[in-house]
Amino acid sequence: MGANFMRLPKNVFSYFVILLMAILVVGCSNSSSGNGENAEEVESEVTTVGPEDGAKMDMWLFVDLHQKFYSEMLNKWNEANPDKQIQIKFTVYPYADMHTKLTLAVQSGEGIPDLADVEIGQFPNYLDGEVPWLALNSYVEPYKADLVTSRLDAYEKDGNYYGVPTHVGATVMYYNTEILEKYGIDYTQIKTWDDFTAAGEKLKEASNGEVYMTSVDTGGADWLTLTMSEYGESWVEDPENANVKLDSLNNMLTMQQGWLESGIAEVTPGGQIDTEQGYATVAKGEVAAFPKAIWYMSRFTDYMPEMSGKFAIAPAPVFEEGQKRSNGAGGTGTVVYKDSENAELAAEFMAWAKLTEEGGEQIWNILGFDPVNTKVWTNQDITHNQENEYVKYFVNNPFDTLLEIQDEVNLIKTVPITTTINEVFNLTTLNEVLENGADVKQALEDAQAEVDFEQE
Amino acid sequence: MKKIQAFLFSQKIAPYVFILPFIVSLSFFWIYPMYSTINMSFHNIGNGYSEYIGLANYEKLLGDKVFHIAVRNSVIYTIFTLIILIPIPMLCAFLLNSKSVVGKRIYKSIIYLPALVSVVVAGILFRYMFSEMDSGLMNQILQFFGLESKQWLKNWGTGMFALLLLATWRWTGVNTLYFEAGLSSIDEVLYESAKVDGASAWQRFWHITLPLLKPTRIYVTTISIYAGLAMFLESFMIYGSNNSPKNIGLTIVGYLYRRGIEKNDLGYASAVGLVLLIVALSISMVYLLSSGMFKKEDK
């Protein structure tokens, strides 16, 4: 044969183009693996913990920090139980990917992991029809007396507990004391939303409109679930007939509209405060206060270290005295696949890891969450440990507030229709009301129509 | 053994043997999923159960306001991509084909490069470009002209603009290449004889180039119609998720994904997919019939 397999380009321009492409390829590949904990860049990370001869299990997670917690507890378990050794292969996926994978696995019946962390919002997806998870009632029983039961109920169906809760997720108010003191506002005097609004007016006057008292969400329902808890209402009182035309929602949204009109509040950049834009807003000192769950503390230490020593935690204001001041927000339930080889052992381990006092201590120390086991809350050695990064970060001790609101943490249950309700509010209703100033009553009627359509 | 071989290689059977691999993969990857989707669209599917509900999914689709929004978004997007992405690449191809342009190959490579960038990466970049903060690229451009920053991705109009900009940036090169291939198949002799007859450049373009580009035009239009209606990734990446404010960026496939994967309602999602197929198919068939593709060529 002998013909030239590849002729070199004779044209100078072709060399130029090849050079250009080479530069682009090399240049682009270096910049993407750069710095920053951008959640979108996280790929699945696999860590195996435990001895080789232990019962082998695999677990799917969607937050890297949770894996550190489970690894810590697994090591403790293996030390204390030489006859029940466990080895777990942890895989951390991005949030949406993990749930999609799990949904597909459950649908097809193949590749379901032995253990998985399921976020509370996604939990109902797996409870429809035949539930693939082990009922955990007997494993939870030994610890039940010390637990916040509303959190167990969050993952319950037909009397069976299917998920082991991680935290209570009590909503509290975060106050930027540096800003408030500068303008002469004492946050400890704020007990009602009227007090809050008045403080907001004062702040606006004093700072010449530069600082907002708070920011309102168009992309999250935390303000709404808080207000429902305060009034003792729930949009899924009857899970088959959701009702969003509630007084609590009407009052909250009308109040928020008023804040926006008088310049006391702005719409949260990024839709809600647990986003990159949200962290930037807080770190810039743009807002003086906002309500969020206790687990938001780790966002402070992770993304806003410069705000250390400036923020205080207090119970949220209410509309009328006597209302409950908190609501359980967010959550992760760990599930055990019922047909897995070592299902019982997995359930025993997981209940021990998350529901005991020992587990609760680590949930506080490693994850910065308020553990479901309330015995931890009164254990001063744990809660006032001066080495704990959260104790160091905040002006006051988080557990002081938690103990104050201990019996006031309500929970709006997540049921199948909740996904639709969240969708309707986050995409349409909140934008209409808060960005476009639509009539609140009408917007809630429209939302109800959308929800009814789903429920028929 | 020899008998089987003789049978397989015989005149009658051999052709079928040759196309067998194609038929197998076609049935596996196309016919079976198609049948399965049609079947699923008549069922209500959950974890481990699948109950027959007849036309209930389709009836629900008729009244589904969110689905209507998705269809509206997809159709408008398709119409705009057709308006932008057929004349402009045609013009580019024409320019690139002319003798007076220096360095044609560089321009061709540069114009094609965006098509090589992953849609995911491009979408993320465009999302940052259109960020509502003052530091976003588009807002910086606005500020340069003394205008206020806009919330690009919160309004339908500006959001559609962002999507179309992304589409134009990405697909102009590909379409240009198609047209360029079509142009190069037109015989030079036709142009020369037209010049001899005194035809102007515009007349040559209108009476020679355009008609002879018809097959290419029809091909590009047909694939653009389908690509526009089935667009998902661009919108998903620009808005950062499937959930855009007031569903301004929701497309038909986006709605399919939301129902099927995010909400685990595969029966309903199958119905959505089927409706997309029927819509795309009918539009394409109408177009192809009206452009005479199915007429037998006059010999």
| Residue at A232 is within a domain | yes
Shared domain for A221 and A258, answered yes or no, is yes
Of the two residues B98 and B286, the one the predictor is more confident about is B286
Of B46, B48, B243, the CB nearest to A427: B243
Shared domain for A280 and A202, answered yes or no, is yes
Shared domain for A437 and A315, answered yes or no, is yes
Of B133, B246, B264, the CB nearest to A431: B246
B118 part of contact set with chain A, CB < 8 Å: no
Cβ–Cβ < 8 Å for A192, A321: yes
The stretch B87-96 carries a mean pLDDT of: 88
Place A32 in a pLDDT band, splitting at 50, 70 and 90: very low
Q: Is the pLDDT of residue B296 over 90?
A: no
Chain A residues whose beta carbon lies within 8 Å of the beta carbon of residue B246: 427-428, 431-432
Chain A residues whose beta carbon lies within 8 Å of the beta carbon of residue B243: 423, 426-427
Q: Is the pLDDT of residue A41 over 50?
A: no
Q: Is the pLDDT of residue A217 over 60?
A: yes
Chain Cα centroid distance, residue A327: 13
| Residue at B53 is within a domain | no
| Residue at A21 is within a domain | no
Please give the torsion angle defined by the CA atoms of residues A54, A59, A64 and A70, in that order, rounded to the nearest 10 degrees.
-50
The stretch B207-215 carries a mean pLDDT of: 87
**CB A21 to CB B109 under 8 A?**
yes
What are the pLDDT digits (tens) for A166-187?
Answer: 999 999 999 999 999 999 999 9
Chain B residues whose beta carbon lies within 8 Å of the beta carbon of residue A275: none
Place A144 in a pLDDT band, splitting at 50, 70 and 90: very high
Q: Is the pLDDT of residue B298 over 80?
A: no
What are the pLDDT digits (tens) for A48-80?
Answer: 999 998 899 999 999 888 999 999 999 999 999
pLDDT computed for residue B299 by the predictor = 46
A453 part of contact set with chain B, CB < 8 Å: yes
Chain B residues whose beta carbon lies within 8 Å of the beta carbon of residue A450: 65-66
**CB A14 to CB B105 under 8 A?**
yes
| Residue at B29 is within a domain | no
The stretch B240-269 carries a mean pLDDT of: 89
Number of domains in chain A: 2
> What is the model's pTM?
0.80
Give strand pairing partners of A334.
A117, A164
Amino acid, res. A372: V
What are the pLDDT digits (tens) for A2-27?
Answer: 455 566 666 777 777 778 777 777 66
Q: Is the pLDDT of residue B140 over 80?
A: yes
A20 part of contact set with chain B, CB < 8 Å: yes
Residues 6+ apart with CB under 8 A from A185: A199, A202, A203, A288
Indicate the angle between helix axes A416-423 and A440-455, nearest 10 degrees.
Answer: 140
C-alpha closest to that of A252 among A431, A433, A436, A451? A433
What is the distance between the alpha carbons of residues A334 and A166, in angstroms, rounded to a whole number?
8
Which of A20-34, A63-77, A438-452, B107-121 is predicted least confidently? A20-34
pLDDT computed for residue A7 by the predictor = 65
**CB A107 to CB B47 under 8 A?**
yes
Chain A residues whose beta carbon lies within 8 Å of the beta carbon of residue B154: 431, 435
What is the percentage of chain A residues whose pLDDT exceeds 70? Answer: 94
Chain A residues whose beta carbon lies within 8 Å of the beta carbon of residue B262: 100, 419
Number of domains in chain B: 1
3-class DSSP state for residue A119? strand
What are the pLDDT digits (tens) for A334-383?
Answer: 999 999 999 999 999 999 999 999 999 999 998 889 999 999 999 988 88
What's the gap in Å between the CA of A26 and the closest CA on chain B? 14
Domain range spanning residue B190? 59-290
| Residue at A204 is within a domain | yes
In this structure, the number of other CB atoms found within 10 A of the CB of residue B30 comes to: 10
B243 part of contact set with chain A, CB < 8 Å: yes
Shared domain for A286 and A428, answered yes or no, is yes
Q: Is the pLDDT of residue A290 over 60?
A: yes
Amino acid, res. A48: T
Mean pLDDT rounded to a whole number for chain A: 89
C-alpha closest to that of B190 among B177, B215, B207? B207
pLDDT computed for residue A42 by the predictor = 47
B247 part of contact set with chain A, CB < 8 Å: yes
Using CA coordinates, name the residue in chain A closest to B265.
A125
| Residue at B280 is within a domain | yes
| Residue at A11 is within a domain | no
| Residue at A391 is within a domain | no
Shared domain for A158 and A146, answered yes or no, is yes
Q: Is the pLDDT of residue B293 over 60?
A: yes
Shared domain for A189 and A105, answered yes or no, is no
Of B113, B132, B246, the CB nearest to A427: B246
Shared domain for A285 and A432, answered yes or no, is yes
Which of A36-50, A249-263, B26-40, B146-160 is predicted least confidently? A36-50
What's the gap in Å between the CA of B1 and the closest CA on chain A? 37
pLDDT computed for residue A127 by the predictor = 87
pLDDT computed for residue A38 by the predictor = 41
What is the distance between the alpha carbons of residues B265 and B261, in angstroms, rounded to a whole number?
7
The stretch B150-174 carries a mean pLDDT of: 92
* Sign (positive or negative) of CA dihedral A76, A79, A83, A85: positive
| Residue at A311 is within a domain | yes
Q: Is the pLDDT of residue B187 over 90?
A: no
What's the gap in Å between the CA of B126 and the closest CA on chain A? 15
B241 part of contact set with chain A, CB < 8 Å: yes
CATH of the domain at A61: 3.40.190.10
Chain A residues whose beta carbon lies within 8 Å of the beta carbon of residue B245: 218-219, 427, 431, 435
Shared domain for A74 and A109, answered yes or no, is yes
B133 part of contact set with chain A, CB < 8 Å: yes
The stretch B216-236 carries a mean pLDDT of: 93
DSSP B59-89: HHHHH-HHHHHHHHHHHHHHHHHHHHHTHHH
CATH of the domain at B82: 1.10.3720.10
A103 part of contact set with chain B, CB < 8 Å: yes
Q: Is the pLDDT of residue A34 over 50?
A: no
Shared domain for A161 and A182, answered yes or no, is no
Q: Best interface-test mutation with B: which of A279, A428, A430 has the largest number of B CBs within 10 A?
A: A428
Domain range spanning residue A224? 171-327+410-455
Place A43 in a pLDDT band, splitting at 50, 70 and 90: low
| Residue at A14 is within a domain | no
Shared domain for A186 and A161, answered yes or no, is no
Shared domain for A180 and A261, answered yes or no, is yes
Q: Is the pLDDT of residue A426 over 80?
A: yes
Q: Is the pLDDT of residue A90 over 50?
A: yes
**CB A426 to CB B154 under 8 A?**
no
What are the pLDDT digits (tens) for A99-109?
Answer: 989 988 988 88
What's the gap in Å between the CA of A436 and the closest CA on chain B? 11
Using CA coordinates, name the residue in chain B closest to A109.
B48
Rg (CA), chain B: 24
Cβ–Cβ < 8 Å for B152, B132: yes
pLDDT computed for residue B203 by the predictor = 84
Cβ–Cβ < 8 Å for B290, B214: no
| Residue at A153 is within a domain | yes
DSSP A14-68: HHHHHHHHHHHHHHHHHHHT-SS--GGG---EEEEES-TTSEEEEEEES-HHHHH
The stretch B230-235 carries a mean pLDDT of: 93
At which of A354, A378, A402 does a domain end? A378
Q: Is the pLDDT of residue B238 over 70?
A: yes
Of B154, B246, B263, the CB nearest to A419: B263
Of A96, A129, A269, the CB nearest to B46: A129
What are the pLDDT digits (tens) for B13-67?
Answer: 888 888 999 999 999 999 999 999 999 999 988 777 888 998 999 999 999 999 9
Which of A54-63, A212-221, B18-27, B257-266 is predicted least confidently? B257-266
Shared domain for A141 and A206, answered yes or no, is no
| Residue at B82 is within a domain | yes
pLDDT computed for residue A14 by the predictor = 76
What residue has token string 């009922």?
A135
